[in-house]
Chain A
């Protein structure tokens, strides 16, 4: 991991950081296996340099960006965000990245573009979790945002954490971070970003549509069909005797994002 220079951001929380050890050893990245420790153990095999992100679809200036150029040409910021996993645990992570909106402006989306679709690398030979008898998900991993969600200043493309480039298990070299949504929306190791006019398919929604919606906004009042979302465990807090804390609407980012969903029934559009 190489050091990264990053400015401070007013969007950062001052909550206590989850330790770097926990942030980099307790991960969901099913391309490397379903165990929480699989990504840290197996993601070294992913070659993250050189790496390009193809931006295409309904844009005036489609382009391929080398991640190192994106890092050089962007004003990197540290964004200390809460991260809430759909499984009921949470962390506070000091990401380093830049607003997705910056990249979107560079490619000049057409008026017809309504959604942004993302795709993770498809490299079974470097990603051992993809090469299993029964695939746990349909590969490659895909995610999506509505264009206004993608343009929200909270939405970032992260290239680092704890002041250094991303470890592979956290989605190197570039990943999405959308702090008011469940963690699985934060697609890792992105190779392609497409602008489209229809709601794009998303991996977990395809796997179990009744359990994972397209929006996946953190919402304590809409339970996952199999478990409650009312509370969460903050990783690294209290050890064996961790106390659950109430989950906040939009993961505590309601002030910045609630207006995106005015008039929507969030029980149906979960």
Chain B
């Protein structure tokens, strides 16, 4: 989830350096607006469901955005690496808010109903598993963790974001009736972003960076 944002020699377009705090501030605008509108009763006839779904959708959007950063750099020379950690953490925060909304507002902290949901409902099982996967990624999204783990182990762990992305779109597809377009579009985007990595790993077996001779 988090990038080695300060890696030296980062290539790419000379984008203006936005302070990372600004990414968080902008990233939290939808959440603040949603909670405010919810309390002011501006979220339509079924405000709890709207809030729950919107928070989940934003988590997925940020997850997709983190996955887009590497292809953007490799294919289009647009380097947003220094924001990847912030965007990845935003995905986690939105997933946490989505989960809290489900647990507290939707289920009213009814333990039995929640456990039954997790055990019996595939989309909730998958959603919970996806959140559980995001936890270690969020916890290790800091420089201290990278130092402690070592870059390779850290990078390996963070490949779990691919699994989380698949889990998130499955969770979305399974919660809706029939096959409406929107979840399928997200699934297609995730498929392209992951397929790109698979393709690249198959085509470019030796990493160009290792060619020292």
A interface with B by C-beta (< 8 Å): 21-22, 25-26, 30, 34, 36-37, 86-87, 89, 132-134, 136-137, 204, 207-208, 223, 226-228, 230-231, 233, 235-236, 239-244
Q: Which residues from chain B contact A244 at a C-beta distance below 8 Å? A: 107-108, 110
For residue A134, which residue of chain B has the nearest CB?
B179
- Contact in complex: A228, B116 (CB < 8 Å): yes
Select from chain B the residue with minimum beta-carbon distance to A238.
B48
Q: Is the Cβ of B180 less than 8 Å from the Cβ of A25?
A: no
When A240-B39, A243-B108, A244-B108 are in contact, do A26 and B121 touch as well, CB less than 8 Å?
A: no
10 closest residue pairs by CB, A with B = A26-B45, A22-B45, A34-B180, A136-B178, A240-B38, A240-B47, A235-B45, A239-B41, A242-B48, A239-B47
**Docked pose: A226 CA to B124 CA in angstroms:** 9
Which secondary structure dominates where chain B touches chain A? helix
- Contact: A37 with B49, CB < 8 Å? no
B105 interface hit (Cβ, 8 Å): yes
Please, which residues of chain A bring their CB within 8 A of the CB of B48? 233, 239-242
A25, B45: Cβ atoms under 8 Å? Answer: yes
Most chain B Cβ neighbours within 10 Å, of A21, A134, A204, A239: A239
Contact A240 B51 (CB under 8 A): yes
Closest to A89 in B: B46
Task: Judge whether B38 and A239 touch: CB under 8 Å.
Answer: yes
Against A, the Cβ 8 Å flags (1 = close, 0 = not) of B115-139 are 0110011110000000000000000
In the complex the two chains form, is B121's CB within 8 Å of A227's CB?
yes
Q: Is B174 an interface residue (CB 8 A)?
A: yes
For residue B46, which residues in chain A have a CB less than 8 angstroms away from its CB? Answer: 26, 36, 89, 233, 235
**Nearest residue, chain A, Cβ from B180:** A34
Interface members, chain B 156-201 (any A CB < 8 Å): 174-181, 184
Q: Are A240 and B49 in touch, CB under 8 angstroms?
A: no
Interface size on B, residues (CB 8 A): 31
A136 touching B38, Cβ below 8 Å:
no
- Say yes or no: is B111 at the interface (Cβ < 8 Å to chain A): no
Query: Which of A34, A132, A207, A236 has the most chain B CB atoms closer than 10 A to its own CB?
Result: A34
Q: A204–B179 Cα gap in the complex (Å)?
A: 12
CB distance from B66 to the nearest CB of A (A): 27
Min CB distance, B40 to chain A, in Å?
9
Looking at the assembled complex, report how far the CB atom of A220 sits from the nearest CB atom of chain B, in whole angstroms.
Answer: 12
Alpha-carbon gap, A86 to B176, bound state (A): 12
Known: A34-B176, A208-B178, A240-B51. 19 other contacts (CB 8 A): A21-B45, A26-B44, A36-B46, A86-B177, A89-B49, A132-B181, A136-B180, A204-B177, A223-B120, A226-B174, A227-B123, A233-B46, A233-B48, A235-B46, A239-B41, A239-B47, A239-B48, A240-B47, A240-B105
CB distance from A101 to the nearest CB of B (A): 31
A34 touches B47 (CB 8 A): no
Question: Is the beta-carbon distance between A241 and B44 smaller than 8 angstroms?
Answer: no
The answer, yes or no, to whether B13 is at the interface (CB within 8 Å) is no
Nearest CB of B to A129, in Å: 10
Q: By the criterion CB–CB under 8 Å, are A226 and B45 in contact?
A: no
A20 to chain B, nearest CB (A): 11
Determine if B113 is an interface residue (Cβ-Cβ < 8 Å): yes
Give complex CA distance A236, B46 in Å. Answer: 7
